[in-house]
Structure 1
Amino acid sequence: MDLDVFVTAHRAEWDRLEHLLKRGRGLTGTEADELVVLYQRTATHLSLIHSQAPDPRTEGRLTQLVARARSVVTGTRKASWRDVTRFLSAGFPAAVYRSRHWWVPTAVFSTLLAALIGWWIGTHPEVQAAIGAPDDLRALTRPGGEYEAYYSSHPAASFAAQVWTNNAQAAAMCLVLGAFFCLPVIWILFTNVLNLGVGIGLMSSAGRLDTFLGLILPHGLLELTALFVAAGTGLKLGWTLIDPGPRSRRAALAEEGRAALGMAIGLALVLFVSGVIEGFVTPSSLPTWARIAVGVAAELAFLLYVHALGGRAVRAGDTGDVAAAERATALPTAA
């Protein structure tokens, strides 16, 4: 395609579209119809130039025109409670359900790795000596020591807010950094698994593993599940770059990326619940069995929510992506 000839042939249409856009709301019905037609034509022109005769200057102008025209043609829409309801009842659980083949294996492998690290540390005194001095380790593991005092070291509300913020940030990083070929996600996940394994190993070596689990399980079941979901989804996003499947790499990454960003909001709500449990239930005077029962109930409720609502939404065709009207216009590609 001869770019100069193409630009000369269609410049008048682009100029006319720009003129109509400057008119804004003062268009007649005929002019509004003309704007829609010119918008569609210009989008096609942009696709042809991009695929057959790339030119940054021309593409820049047409991209701007198409974006402005699209906002006029489709209009803008404010989020409503209907959007929130759809997200919580279909979009978020569907995204989590679709990613289950990634985050369930991630959860199983991470749990086994944490247990293995804990066993290794707990049964090898030389490894414990490499972690810290005997006095420091006793300060961590003794009754009323640092492991236990951690959960009551601050007022419950501020402590819950702090752990919620930290956990939501870790989950968001897993989701966003997955696009960097999975490596940052693996590091974040390993860091958390290692910390858990160290706690298991040190407390078991002191004969207080039951106390440690009584402190971890009430909030940790839901908290770790949210982290595993984020990590598994981040790994899925990174793998999409390597193997996008039948979709183009750009379309696949856009679809999975939008779902992942939406999932970050949903997981922040899940982690808020675990943060409340960690701030108010974990350090409470409730019997250990009662505190663990709260954690198990929260975990089962989340898994049932994902399986029931998410499974139903996926079977209905929901992918966890934003509604079609909210997505960027997919430009036609020349064969």
Structure 2
Amino acid sequence: MDVDAFIAAHRAEWDRLEQLLGRARHLSGSEADELVGLYQRVATHLSIVRSATPDPVLVARLSQLVARARAAITGTRTPAWKEVVGFFTRKFPAAVYRARYWWAPTGVLFVVVSAALGWWVAADDALRAMLAPPEQIKELTRPGGQYESYYSTYPAGSFAFQVWANNAFVAARTLVSGILLGIPVVPILWTNAQNLAVGIGFMASAGRLDVFLGLVVPHGLLELTAVFIAAGTGLRLGWTIIDPGPRRRLDAFAQEGRAAAGMAIGLTVVLLISGAIEGFVTPSGLPTWARIAIGVAAEIAFLGYVFVLGRRAARAGETGDVDARYAGDTLPTAG
């Protein structure tokens, strides 16, 4: 192939493509179509040159033109670290904030039920006797007993990981229950409320409720908040199936389901933090007030994160769903 003749025949197309690339952000519709056509032709020219006579100078110029044109047409890929930052600064807090009318009442109801059951267990000797023999209750509640030694039996690192894995599984299972209209959320929360109430009642009956709360509150505030969010989101997802609003039922479920899946990832990180507190702070030698202060600080920081960053992102239109380029097309619906 005569390289000089080839260059003379196609130079005008290459120059035109370079000219369009110089103002790619300000092209008219016809110019954008022209850019796509020139990109395809120049890509073919590059293939011909490489196979027939790989002139290094010409190959370099055409390769650069094709790469620039491809980037202008398809767009540049967002770096992974920006995706991660965007998820934790916009998508996750916005999704949690949008679901607040589901998880906040869930949390309040859980606390009220747990406190009422705990008071009942503490006040009713017969009920405690039905739940466990007096000897076992004494072993659980005595100084250094099982309620206290539970947090220091295993090395802090492995215990924190074990707690995190268990809580993450519970949260994920609660979120996924939205597929079943959120019905499994109720027994999951009921079981957790019963377990907490028995501990409250047993320790209160032994006059050691302050010790129990000093052990539970540091990690429990953040841990239970994560569980409430998972439960509320599962209920919300289930309700979306029943009442999708103006959206098609399948589209609504897909959008809310993707947001819930993202929340599962975010809650895994939240539970990792609460697991670290449970593994390293709860059994530590710090004074009770210091351990509780750490738990309260973590809870306040998370709620501030949700109600400041989350509210700001939600008001800007963020829903927690994936970006439109990943979500696929949806059919228009009547407003």
TM range (shorter): 0.7 to 0.9
Residue 15 of structure 1 is matched in structure 2 by none
Q: TM-score, with normalisation over the residues of structure 1? A: 0.76
Report SS of the residue matched to 1:232. helix
Distance 1:75 1:238, change over 3 A: farther
Which residue in 1 is equivalent to 2:236? Answer: 236
Following superposition, which runs of at least 4 residues in structure 1 exceed 3 angstroms of deviation? 28-33, 73-79
Give 2:129's aligned amino acid: A
- Amino acid of the residue matched to residue 82 of structure 1? K
Match of 2:176 in 1: 176
Assess, with a 3 A threshold, how the Cα gap between structure 1 residues 251 and 125 changes in structure 2: closer, same or farther. Answer: same
Change in 2 beyond 3 A, CA 1:189/1:75: farther
| Equivalence for 2:300 | 300
- 2:55: which partner in 1? none
Larger Rg: 2
CA separation in 1, counterparts of 2:302 and 2:277?
14
Question: Residue 156 of structure 2 aligns to which amino acid in structure 1?
Answer: A
- C-alpha separation between the residues in 1 aligned to 2:40 and 2:191? 57
What secondary structure does 1:262 align onto? Answer: helix
Question: 1:258 matched to which residue of 2?
Answer: 258
Over the matched positions of the two proteins, sequence identity in percent amounts to 61
1:329 CA displacement: 2.5
Q: Secondary structure at the match of 1:298?
A: helix
Q: Output aligned runs, 1:194-233, within 5 Å.
A: 194-233=194-233
Alpha-carbon RMSD across the aligned residues, in angstroms, is: 2.0
- In structure 2, relative to structure 1, the CA distance for the partners of 1:74 and 1:120 (3 Å cut) is farther
Cα distance in structure 2, aligned partners of 1:74 and 1:264: 31
**2:54 maps to which residue?**
none
The one-letter code sitting in structure 2 at the alignment partner of 1:328 is: G
- Structural mapping, 1:187-198, within 5 Å: 187-198=187-198
Q: 1:234 to 1:75 in 2, by over 3 A?
A: farther
**Cα separation, 2, equivalents of 1:263 and 1:237:** 12
Distance 1:134 1:328, change over 3 A: same
What TM-score, normalized to structure 2? Answer: 0.76
Match of 2:82 in 1: 82
Aligned residue number for residue 63 of structure 1: none
Local SS of the residue matching 1:319:
coil
Letter in 2 for 1:95: A
Identify the residue that residue 143 of structure 1 maps to in structure 2: 143
Counterpart-to-counterpart distance in 1, 2:236 and 2:180: 11
Is the partner of 1:126 in helix, strand or coil? Answer: helix
CA shift at 1:29, angstroms?
Answer: 4.5
Q: CA deviation at 1:31?
A: 11
Determine whether 1:102 maps to 2:114: no
Q: Which runs of 5+ in 1 are unaligned?
A: 1-27, 34-72
Structure 2 unmatched ranges of 5 or more: 1-35, 42-72
1:72-129: per-residue Cα shift (whole Å, max 9, x none)? x979968610100100000000000000000000000000000011011110011101
Render the CA deviation track for 1:305-329: whole Å, top value 9, x for unaligned.
0001000000100011111111023
Summarize the Cα distance change of 1:32–1:183 in structure 2 as closer, same or farther, 3 Å threshold. farther
Question: Which residue matches 2:152?
Answer: 152
Q: CA deviation at 1:207?
A: 0.7
**Mapped partners of 1:79, 1:239: distance in 2:** 36
Closer/same/farther in 2, CA of residues 183 and 32 from structure 1, 3 Å limit: farther
Per-residue deviation at 1:182? Answer: 1.3
2-structure distance, mates of 1:250, 1:130: 48
Shift of 1:332: 6.8
The separation in 2 between residues aligned to 1:313 and 1:291, in whole angstroms, is: 32
Deviations 1:206-247 (A, max 9, x none): 111000000000000000000000000100001111111111
